[in-house]
Copies of this chain bind each other. A is one copy, B any other.
Amino acid sequence: MKNKGNLIVISGPSGTGKGTVCKELLKAQPEIVFSISATTRKPRPGEVNGKDYWFLSKEEFQQMIAENRLLEWAEVYGNYYGTPADKVREVLESGKDVLLEIDTQGALNVQKMFLKEGTFIFLLPPSLAELEKRIRGRGTETEEAIKRRLSAAIEEIPRGNNYDYIITNEVVSDVVNKILHIIEAERCAVYNNLDKLVQLENEKV
């Protein structure tokens, strides 16, 4: 029996460094497949379909919503963004692990479909002061937008309760190392190895 891959979901409030952690994790373990989002926004110069995003028309996207073919989706400033379920399942069935970087709202939806199969990791900032520093550090937003984003991030912290793992992102390389340990542990998880019990049972004569 071929083992399926694991769905690794990296989530957490904005400003906790999901993007950087995922980038470094993929460098450390290149055989993990990063899940590519679908979007209805126009490709920017240099962006490639199937690499940066799956670029879809509004009609195609709405069709996918209607057919329940997205793990999660959201509308942001008139554009749709979402995670196509088929692609994720395809890669998992091939035995490879899939990495999903996603906000806490999206992660909640993915849990509904993958609660048992997914590995849900919640990133935390070392402190609220550091969170504010990181959100301000982007330097692209008005004071009002920063305040809004910060208070939204703080509101999301208790959602960590619903995850499998919680990691404080103090040093990125430490976080990546912990995730690599989690991935290895998950390969030994009982729900990934029930076939071994059956296999031994079948040896009985």
Contacts and interface: CB of A to CB of B under 8 A. Distances in A.
Interface of A: 121-122, 124-125, 127-129, 154, 157-158, 160-161, 163-168, 178, 181-182, 184-190, 193-194, 196-197, 200-201, 203-204
A125 B185 contact: no
Contact of A125 (B122, B125, B186, B200): B200
Contacts of A189: 164-166
B166 A190 contact: yes
Contacts of A168: 196
Q: What 8 pairs between A and B have smallest CB-CB spacing?
A: A185-B185, A166-B193, A181-B184, A165-B188, A182-B185, A128-B203, A181-B181, A181-B185
A124 to B, nearest CB: 6
A178 to B, nearest CB: 5
A127 B200 CA distance: 6
Contacts of A160: 190, 193-194, 196-197
Nearest to A182: B185
13 contacts: A124-B196, A127-B203, A128-B203, A128-B204, A160-B197, A161-B190, A161-B197, A165-B188, A165-B190, A165-B193, A166-B193, A182-B184, A182-B185
